Amino acid sequence: MHAQQIIATHPHVRGSTNDALIRCIEECYDCSQTCTSCADACLGEEMVQQMTQCVRTCLDCADVCLTTGQISTRRTGSNERLIASMLETCEEACRLCAEECEQHASQMEHCRICAEACRRCERACQEARRTFGQTMQ
């Protein structure tokens, strides 16, 4: 991904980036794609009726992660409170999705992979939120 590279070129950033936030942005986009793919794979399972909650949780997490990544990428102006709020919401969505997918991980490889992506994103959101109060580029 090119988040570090492109954000560093932003005129308001001038090369000084928040590395934890950039890692979080990358994890958010990765998690969004993984959750979308997992939801689609759940829909393909023979026992699709039992996967309704997993599909819903994955799709909710995918949307939250995508939106968090987009809002966190914007460097013009300042909206630290919204970014912090989105990171917290994303952290929660990832935790819930990981917990749901972990219930199916032993039978479905796509759920195991999704749970791992969600846990990585959850940790990245926590780390990025800790940087607030410091420079937010």
The share of the chain scoring above pLDDT 90, in percent, equals: 77
The share of the chain scoring above pLDDT 70, in percent, equals: 88
Three-state DSSP at 82 gives helix
- What is the pTM (predicted TM-score) of this model? 0.90
Provide the residue range defining the domain that includes 62: 3-7+17-130
Residue 12 maps to a domain: no
What are the phi and psi torsion angles at 106 (to 5°)? -75, -25
Is residue 30 over pLDDT 90?
yes
Count how many domains the chain has.
1
Beta carbons within 10 angstroms of residue 130's beta carbon:
11
Q: Specify the DSSP class assigned to residue 77.
A: S
Q: What is the pLDDT of residue 108?
A: 97
What are the Cα distances from residue 136, in Å, to 69, 77, 78, 120? 14, 11, 9, 21
Residue 27 maps to a domain: yes
Length of the chain (residues): 137
pLDDT digits (tens, 9 = 90+) for 66-81: 999 999 998 777 788 9
Q: What is the pLDDT of residue 135?
A: 46
Q: What is the pLDDT of residue 77?
A: 75
Residue 105, both tokens: 């991980």
Residue 137 maps to a domain: no
Tell me if 125 sits within 8 A of 96, measured CB to CB: no
Q: What is the pLDDT of residue 52?
A: 97
Q: Specify the DSSP class assigned to residue 98.
A: H
Q: Look up the CATH number of the domain holding residue 93.
A: 1.20.1270.360
Query: Among 126, 33, 63, which Cα is nearest to 71's?
Result: 63
Residue 105 maps to a domain: yes
pLDDT digits (tens, 9 = 90+) for 82-136: 999 999 999 999 999 999 999 999 999 999 999 999 999 999 999 999 998 654 4
Residue 59 maps to a domain: yes
